[in-house]
Structure 1
Amino acid sequence: MTASATVRVMSPEEIAARAGEETPFLHWPQRESVFAEREMRLRQLARGHAMEDYLGFLARIAHQQQGLLKTFPSVPLPDAQAADRAARAGLPLIPAADWPRDPAWRQVVRDMSQALSQEVAGKAAEVLSTLADADEVFLERQADALLHGLVTGLDLATAPVVGAALQVYWTHMLLATRDLHQGQGQPFGRIDDETVCPCCGSRPTASVTRSAGESLGQRYLHCSLCGLQWHMVRIKCPHCLSGKSLAYQSLTGSSGDSDSAAATAKVQAETCDDCGTYLKIVHTDRDPFVDPVADDVASVTLDLLVAETGKERHGVNFMLLFGDGGGDPPPDQGGQ
């Protein structure tokens, strides 16, 4: 497989015409289905994939996430005064780096690890059993490393499960805060840094082109932590905001697929020559079941090929972490 440049983004005039004030700024994860839909997509992608075992294991994680999100206990949430202060300062309301984490998130790690350890075998079961008994210091240090984007001290073997627990916690806080402030105004909105999540300040995993309603054809960035999606016009690089040198890369067959065939790819890498970064983009108009997290993992070959051109990955995916070789890889047992 090779990486091949395809069509460029729409003209500024066309995008401006389609990105009027009627375009919703935010799209919310659905508490009843967000991780269940990801599980379904992971199982679909796993069939016959070179990473079938790992994608199947991630599907098991997503299954646990959905159940734990539904039963997540009450935790402290930002009040109206905190929302007002954050809005005035142009800052995220529940910042990943600074929010005082409630111990409830650690119980999610333990419950998830215990359940998963019963479904896998070998080294993976040992890792998960150890994680289920991990102490507070270890878990909080792992959370700090993940939420600050640090590799030093990060245990790559347990990072997907720790990251999954943090996703459940922040997704719950996002939705519970929205519901708490219902009728009092929207607690989440635009912040000064449009490249990070308006809720938690995390970087996106990928971007999504939406295919329905008022958002038809619009690009949204998908938060790597809380799952919130926020609108950004497609003439801007999601990292440096430049609109001068954006292009798309996709996986095409070695037999020489045409640019028009590549332009129908469900997953592409949006590259920027100005800052030298790329972010995956998934297209729901080409496949309504694409999921930013699942399809990002399944298209890791695209990362490897784009990296060969010197571009650096901008997206963050707790299920697809690239370390310095100092730790074990994530557990890959469990199949589908």
Structure 2
Amino acid sequence: MKQGGFAPQGKWTGSALGGVKAPDALILPNPGKRFSDTATRLETLAIGHPMEDWLRFMAKLAHGQHAAVTTLSPLAGLEQSVVEQAVDARMPPLAADGHRRDPAWRDGLAVLLDHFDNGSMPPQVQAVVAQLRARGAVAIENLADEFLHGNVEAADAGPVLYVAAALQVYFTRMAASLPASALRLLPQRGLCPGCGSTPIAGLVTATGQTPGARYLYCSLCSTAWNHVRTVCITCGESRTVSLEGIEGDAGIVKAETCNDCHTYAKMIYLAQDMKADPFADDLASLGLDVLVAEAGWSRHAPNPLLLVG
């Protein structure tokens, strides 16, 4: 899941005389809204979409994640000293590939599986759910480690989809409990300051105190962090950055491409649709991924649910 990057060469600037405010460095997730917002947006985007059935399935997955968030017992957050030690070392306190998970994360997986364990699901879904239920705790933890280290076997792709969704629930809940005032952006600005994972997409604000600010949204813990615009989030260069889109569409989602490192990242513009959601709109814009890939750019980092789903 993780991918290296470099600190951007540019910096945010504003006129003090003009009263311009710097955007918040990071925004911790709201678990009570994160997955329900994604589910609602997916249901809206699914209407008349060429991939309608699949988007509705992903909406059901997001509803299952919301059910887990709203029914599970509270988690014990990290101790302040642990957070401060990680920040002082310029490391994410919830490092995805090193954090010792609370076994309670598997309770979220159980809620997810209950959400799909009914006769209305296609036989292949029921088979995957049954297969996952049959695995013991050690085997499930191994699947989680494979996912977080990016070593998923093809044969495990089906079960790991639900494991990944449960891990998103766990890390989002953990990130929400972090002391925001103690956190700092990482030297590798393209990585999440909470868990060190790559972003799912960037979202450009349209309202508030800093309209036009760009926030990257973590693909694992849902933390958002500010990143200067028109700077490649992979290599930190700005000389050859440009926006690519699908001609004739609403312009909500565009691909920010870089000809220095030949990567791209999705950018979502709230000015075009205030209800846009970085997690849902990324899934619904796979056509843009195909077109940009055919033109020679590689995605900055994959959507983890697409990677295993």
Amino acid paired to 1:55:
L
1:150-189 superposed Cα distances (whole Å, 9 cap, x missing partner): 34466222233211100110111111233xxxxxx72322
Alpha-carbon distance in 2 for matches of 1:114, 1:316: 27
Amino acid paired to 1:121:
P
Alpha-carbon distance in 2 for matches of 1:122, 1:152: 22
The match for 1:182 is none
3-state DSSP of counterpart to 2:264: strand
The count of aligned residue pairs is: 296
Task: Decide whether the 8 Å contact of 1:206 with 1:315 is kept in 2.
Answer: no
3-state DSSP of counterpart to 2:209: helix
The match for 1:311 is 297
The match for 2:3 is none
Task: Decide whether the 8 Å contact of 2:253 with 2:285 is kept in 1.
Answer: yes
Q: Where in structure 2 are the equivalents of 1:156-305 lying within 5 Å?
A: 156-178=157-179, 186-252=181-247, 257=248, 265-305=251-291
Alpha-carbon distance in 2 for matches of 1:225, 1:211: 25
When normalised by structure 2's length, the TM-score is 0.89
Q: Where in structure 2 are the equivalents of 1:70-149 lying within 5 Å?
A: 70-118=70-118, 119-149=120-150
Q: 1:187 to 1:17 in 2, by over 3 A?
A: closer
Task: Decide whether the 8 Å contact of 1:38 with 1:294 is kept in 2.
Answer: yes
1:108-142 superposed Cα distances (whole Å, 9 cap, x missing partner): 11221122121413211221222233222332222
3-state DSSP of counterpart to 1:289: coil
1:208-230 superposed Cα distances (whole Å, 9 cap, x missing partner): 10122123101111100010100
Q: 1:142 to 1:71 in 2, by over 3 A?
A: same
Task: Decide whether the 8 Å contact of 1:145 with 1:153 is kept in 2.
Answer: no
Task: Decide whether the 8 Å contact of 1:248 with 1:270 is kept in 2.
Answer: yes
3-state DSSP of counterpart to 1:24: coil
1:70-127 superposed Cα distances (whole Å, 9 cap, x missing partner): 2332434321211221121111011000001111112211221122121413211221
1:232-258 superposed Cα distances (whole Å, 9 cap, x missing partner): 011311111111110111112xxxx5x
Q: 1:151 to 1:130 in 2, by over 3 A?
A: closer
1:295-323 superposed Cα distances (whole Å, 9 cap, x missing partner): 111111111111112211113322222x7
Alpha-carbon distance in 1 for matches of 2:38, 2:169: 13
Amino acid paired to 1:286:
Q
Alpha-carbon distance in 1 for matches of 2:134, 2:235: 42
The match for 1:16 is 13
Q: 1:151 to 1:278 in 2, by over 3 A?
A: farther
Alpha-carbon distance in 2 for matches of 1:150, 1:279: 22
Amino acid paired to 1:205:
I
Amino acid paired to 1:142:
L
Task: Decide whether the 8 Å contact of 1:145 with 1:154 is kept in 2.
Answer: no
When normalised by structure 1's length, the TM-score is 0.82
Amino acid paired to 2:273:
D
Alpha-carbon distance in 1 for matches of 2:237, 2:50: 36
Q: Indicate the larger mover: 20-29 or 270-279.
A: 20-29
Q: Indicate the larger mover: 21-30 or 102-111.
A: 21-30
Alpha-carbon distance in 1 for matches of 2:269, 2:155: 32
3-state DSSP of counterpart to 2:246: strand
Structural RMSD (CA): 2.2
3-state DSSP of counterpart to 1:108: helix
Q: 1:166 to 1:152 in 2, by over 3 A?
A: same
Alpha-carbon distance in 2 for matches of 1:25, 1:99: 23
Task: Decide whether the 8 Å contact of 1:209 with 1:283 is kept in 2.
Answer: yes
Q: Indicate the larger mover: 146-155 or 292-301.
A: 146-155
Alpha-carbon distance in 2 for matches of 1:233, 1:67: 35
User: Runs (4+) of structure 1 moved beyond 6 Å?
Assistant: none
Amino acid paired to 2:193:
P
Alpha-carbon distance in 2 for matches of 1:204, 1:143: 19
